[in-house]
Chain A
Amino acid sequence: MIHALRTILLLTGKDLRIEARSRQTLGLVIVLGVLIIVVLGLGLGGETFSPPPPGDAQVAPVASAPASQPASAPATQVASAPASRAASAPAELAPTPQAGTGFAATAILWVAYLFGGVLCFEKTMAMERNDGAMAALLAAPIDHGVLFVAKLLSNLALIFVLVLVITPVAILLFNFDLSFAPWTFAGVTALSLIGFAAVGTLFAAATSSSRLAGGLLSVLIFPICLPVVVTSTKMLLSVFRDHQPLTSEGVGVLVAFDAVYLVVSWLAFERVLEP
């Protein structure tokens, strides 16, 4: 066990050292993430999230709220939606809170996480493919499950740096006020990204020897991660747009998906590796 942990640290440390030295992956991923947020944000005109009005429902870290709570809140609950924008737009063109407010910001953030993440997965695996280093790892006396965990940790580290950089951009652009539940946002995002990274690590290994690696990876990962993305988006909307408390059911769904993705990816990883 200690040997496995030491090997995981060795492998992850190697990945991060290479990344810190070359900055190839992070440079690309961050530029891509920021571009996605800015382009889509400008295109959609910028939605806003705001803290709950005084006396409105308080957001608890995790509460057992009724699962039947509607996803789209009544108009009174989003009274603080973009007043300036609504005022400047013709009445018939102004988005209704139920239809658009907040959804765009959460969705755009996820689009940036997804595409940035795919680039991370692709690049960290390409590092092993270049010059045949993967064959040297496969020939070494290490468990291939250890390889999976190490690569997953490397990917997660890169994705969390991506999140740390591009989320503030979204906060600025969308007036996305996280101050009333920052840990809720961090928790939901982290839980979602763990499952996403597990699937991404598996499929990056499976497709890395293909000429279609990049495009193929997106096509394979996005549908599989859809449940996590949808659940996460709904939870964030519920908290930040509708000002509802975080439900334990939602967290449970994310944890369940994470567990399934992690175990299946870990088991399948060995079968998709090629020297």
Chain B
Amino acid sequence: MSVVAASSNVVPASPGPAAPCAVQADKLALRLDDRTILKNVTLHLAPGTTLALLGANGAGKSTLLKVLAMLLHPTGGTLRLFGQPAGPLAGALRARLGIIAHQPMLYRDLTLTENLRFFGKLYGRSDTAARAAELLDRVGLSDRAGDLVKTLSRGMTQRVAIARALMHDPDLLLADEPFDGLDAPSVRTTENLLRGLREQGKTLIVSNHDVRQSLELADEVVVLRRGAVVLRAPAAQLTVESVLAEMTRA
């Protein structure tokens, strides 16, 4: 399959020479305040792959996503995205990333449309009005386009956050628990959105607590435990029980 992720005890497959890996992380490490957050994380991900990132609370999923988004700089290892070295000066690379985080990353005193257009312009898009309208339609919030974000419910805000992350049509979407706080219809909408992106050939890394949902959505699964990769495998070869066992193993 297209994903290879490995910790020190798993041998990574080498990416094909033709297309550069969307993500090529080698022995990534991160220490903060004398605490090891990530250790020896190796992750090679081919373009167009959907990867589910699983792990118990505190396993390092959000931190790994922040490192991949270049919001945190690793203290060890190397990271390349789409064949280019990632780092603080990689402005062009940033334009290819979309991020959904725990927080919505929106301005509560701006309307939905103003928020989306602002972030679209920040990424250099000129058709922000049309793109914002299209995305609000896709997340089912067209009728609230002119409302301030602070008037939305938690689930609606999360849907706008997803639209924000897609405003610039990123090639790699890093989604940290995108289903968090969503009601059942919104979960369905978001799942369909992610499937649509997958069909478009986008690369997705989605952290999630719902193992069953992850196995349905993803091509590959990586399980993190205490900052290290302890399992990687094609989703089709895994069961909920086997993943849970890896997540909770002492």
Contacts and interface: CB of A to CB of B under 8 A. Distances in A.
A219 interface: no
B108 A140 contact: no
Nearest to B91: A141
Given A14-B107, A127-B107, A136 B92 contact: no
A7 B121 CA distance: 8
A204 B70 CA distance: 23
A275 B66 contact: yes
B71 A142 contact: no
B31 interface: no
B114 interface: yes
Contact of A140 (B66, B104, B114, B119): B119
Please classify the interface of chain B as helix (H, G, I), strand (E, B), loop, or mixed, using the class held by over half of its residues: loop
Contacts, number: 69
A131 B108 contact: yes
B109 A133 contact: no
Interface-central residue, A7, A136, A138, A270, by most chain B CB under 10 Å = A136
Nearest to A9: B121
Contacts of B164: 136
Interface string A4-41: 00010010001001100110000000000000000000
Assign chain B's interface to a size class: 20 to 34
Nearest to B96: A141
A131 B97 contact: no
A17 B94 contact: no
Contacts of B102: 132
B168 to A, nearest CB: 9
Contacts of B106: 131, 133, 136
B104 A131 contact: yes
Contacts of A22: 109
Contacts of B99: 135-136, 139
A17 B105 contact: no
Nearest to A127: B107
B165 to A, nearest CB: 9
A3 B200 CA distance: 30
B162 to A, nearest CB: 13
A73 B23 CA distance: 71
A130 interface: yes
Nearest to A15: B107
Contacts of A10: 118, 121-122
In the A-B complex, the 3 residue pairs with the smallest Cβ-Cβ separation, listed nearest first, are: A132-B103, A136-B105, A275-B71
Given A132-B101, A142-B91, A275-B71, 18 more contacts: A10-B118, A10-B122, A14-B107, A17-B110, A21-B148, A130-B108, A131-B107, A133-B107, A135-B103, A136-B99, A136-B164, A138-B71, A139-B69, A139-B70, A139-B97, A140-B119, A140-B123, A275-B72
Interface of B: 66, 69-72, 88, 91-95, 97, 99, 101-110, 114, 118-119, 121-124, 148, 164
Interface of A: 3, 7, 10, 14, 17-18, 21-22, 127, 130-133, 135-143, 270, 275
28 contacts: A3-B124, A10-B121, A14-B118, A17-B110, A17-B114, A18-B109, A18-B110, A21-B110, A131-B104, A131-B105, A131-B106, A133-B105, A135-B101, A136-B99, A139-B70, A139-B71, A139-B97, A139-B99, A140-B94, A140-B119, A140-B122, A141-B91, A141-B93, A141-B123, A141-B124, A270-B88, A275-B66, A275-B72
